[in-house]
Amino acid sequence: MSEIVNCWFLINVSITEVSPLSLIEGNSLSKFFLSYNVGSLDKFKGSIVHYTLEQVIFNIKSLYNNNFFSKKLEREALNDYNDNYCEQNLQKSLSQIKNMII
């Protein structure tokens, strides 16, 4: 986890993953991510999805020179985590599933 704390943002280069846990962990630490448009990653807030490596490189260069947009993505990443993946929300979802089964 210390690697995530000390980074500027995350890059997901997988072309097959649906929803990597490391990206959710990053969101919990206000780290946004860049990724190819795979799985459900386009549903995450605080991320930028791409179709080509050239787009990834372009956006890294753009973000380097745009602190305002980087900070906005960091806030969106943390808000997305708090709204959808924090422990309280997961416990609530599990309780709902449990109640449906029982």
**CATH number of the domain to which 18 belongs:** 3.40.50.2000
Q: pLDDT digits over 3-16, tens only?
A: 888 888 998 888 88
Please check the confidence at residue 19 and state whether its pLDDT lies above 80.
no
Give me the amino acid identity at 69: F
Question: Could you give the number of structural domains in the chain?
Answer: 1
First to last CA, the chain: 37
93: containing domain: 2-101
Planar angle of CA 42, 68, 1, nearest 5 degrees? 60
Per-residue confidence (pLDDT) for residue 33, from 0 to 100: 92
User: What's the predicted TM-score (pTM) here?
Assistant: 0.77
CB 75 within 8 A of CB 46: yes
Residue-level pLDDT at 68:
92
The tens digit of pLDDT for each residue in 21-75 reads: 888 899 999 999 999 888 888 888 889 988 898 999 999 999 988 989 999 999 9
Can you give the pLDDT at residue 94?
Answer: 85
